[in-house]
Structure 1
Amino acid sequence: MGWMGKLVGGTIGFALGGPLGAIFGAAFGHAFDTGAELDKTGHRPRLSTIEQHQLTFFVAAFSMLAKLAQADGRVTREEIDSIEHFMEKDLRLDVDSRNAALNIFRTALNAPGTFGDFARQFYQQFRDQPQMLELMIDILLRVALSDGSLAQGEESLILSAVNIFNFSTVRYEQIKSQYVRVADKAYAVLGCSPDADDEQVKRCYRQRVQEYHPDKIAAKGLPEEFTRFAQDKFREIQEAWEQIKAARGLK
């Protein structure tokens, strides 16, 4: 049983702490007041290290998306729809996971914690796992650009995460270009320039495949609910490579 099963069952014996912990406590604290199943020692089963990372990622993602939706001072029906679309179509969350995500999202909307607070705690957890940092930037951009445009307030917040994560601004622009119509989208997916020679392109491809292999990312603490997103990224890398390979006549 993963962390979501323990959450639904009211058996999580672990507190996140910090601003994300405040969100988690406000959203789910009531679930652990009474009737929680105890283990043989008389305590609630605790999360494994991987499950703790998964919980942190999940809470951080929907907390940061909530503050992103508030970037212009209000949350529109269209923004809520884009979050729900991301949950259903991109992540393919089941009912329990969707309800948990919406609970976190709504709690974060009214919480005093800021986008920067959540981003800093996320960075402290995943500072040595650049794939996780990039995935979070990718998620923020994908949702923000789901309507085809990136509002100034939204990009300002995402750029603040780029700064907090010590993330490459060049790579940020490459990720952003994946979600707008550009001729060099395939190269952006691989993280290289159209001017790169064949060997450089091959190196970029091999690096991206290694970084984004779903099994490797999951082992680092990506929530199960986000593995489909990682799988989609992996497919995008393969498709981009096939396009470039065909265009360049590579084998």
Structure 2
Amino acid sequence: MLIAMIIGAVIGGAIMGLPGVLLGGVLGFAGAQMLAMTLLKGALGTIRAQFLDSTFAVMGALCKADGQVTRDEIRVAEDLFAKLRLNDEQKAQARASFNRGKADDFDLDGEVEKFCKVARGQRALHQMFLQVQIAAIAADGKVSNAEHDMLMRVARGLGLSEMEIRQLEAMLSGRGPGSTSGDGMGSKAGVDPKEQLEQAYTVLGVDSSASDGEVKKAYRRQMSQNHPDKLAAKGMPESMREMAEEKTREIGAAYERICEARGLS
């Protein structure tokens, strides 16, 4: 923008003299700002479109990982359409992407790479992408070895660490079949309190031996990185805001459980 201001000032000065320097600088700055906003808006639109397209294509491949797509898996995909509040056009596109992913010649690694290039290393978006996949294949209460292996393949393609994968799995481990809400920490699934606490530490990405200060810092970092508004600004489709909000609730629930166990206020 500084260069645009200088160019504008030079042109303005050449045409109008000293008054033109100021006017040209202001117009140059304004023009550069408008151009930047237009480019940003276009880039975010591209990311959002690719996010939805790749999400459902990869989901189709995952659902077929064990050899066939069951009625339950199709129902899960349809339920996700409703949960994401997709309009009729988006639903049609999502179904087409899902069917593309089921094809025998579908390039899973290429699809993940395509999404990564468009998302430009936005790690929080990569995590959200995998979160949707985990939720989809776990929603029927069953995850086959083939599905799990393919899920790990997708995670590696996204460049996620083992800790990040465990965090997402811990958030979803307490949900029953078809669950769409809850704290994600097993409180509604009869999970042993000790295991719940271990899951809570995993969700925050810290060890149980971490100090109170380290736990609080990890909680704040997770909440900041996964704030729905920040994710939306980076290209997360608005339809996925509810899932992002669920994730922040799960992070909050994990922190509250740890605080309770440690006697912190």
- Superposed pair shares fold, TM > 0.5: yes
Structure 1 letter corresponding to 2:232:
A
Cα 1:203–1:158 change in 2 (3 A) is: same
1:71-107 Cα offsets, whole Å, 9 max, x none, are 0121110111111222223x23344433332232123
- Higher relative contact order structure (alpha carbons within 8 Å, sequence separation ≥ 6): 1
Identify the residue that residue 227 of structure 1 maps to in structure 2: 241
TM-score (norm 1): 0.75
| d(CA) in 1 for partners of 2:146, 2:79 | 21
Cα root mean square deviation, aligned: 1.9
Corresponding position: 1:84 with 2:62: no
State how many pairs are aligned: 204
1:65-104 matched pairs, under 5 angstroms: 65-89=59-83, 91-104=84-97
Q: Determine which of 18, 38, 47 is the counterpart of 1:53.
A: 47
The partner residue of 1:145 within 138, 150, 162 is: 138
Could you say what secondary structure the match of 2:172 adopts?
coil
Partner of 1:208: 222
Aligned to 1:119: 112
Whether the aligned pair in 1 keeps the contact of 2:53 and 2:93 (CA below 8 Å) is no
How many percent identity over aligned positions?
29
Q: CA deviation at 1:188?
A: 2.5
Please list the CA deviations of residues 28-58 of structure 1 after superposition, one character each: whole Å capped at 9, or x if unmatched. Answer: xxxxxxxxxxxxxxxxxxx711101100101
Query: Contact conserved, 2:51 with 2:236, CA < 8 A, in 1?
Result: yes
Distance, in Å, in 2 between the alignment partners of 1:250 and 1:190 is 16
- SS in structure 1 of the partner of residue 221 of structure 2: helix
Q: Return 5+ residue gaps in structure 1 as ranges.
A: 1-46
Q: TM-score, normalised by structure 2?
A: 0.71
Whether 2:237 is the aligned partner of 1:197: answer no
CA distance in structure 2 between the partners assigned to 1:116 and 1:194 by the alignment = 35
Matched ranges for 1:10-29 at <5 A? none
Residue type matched to 1:230 in 2? Answer: A
Change (3 A) 1:94 1:246: farther
Bigger drift between 148-157 and 184-193 goes to 184-193
Higher helix share: 2
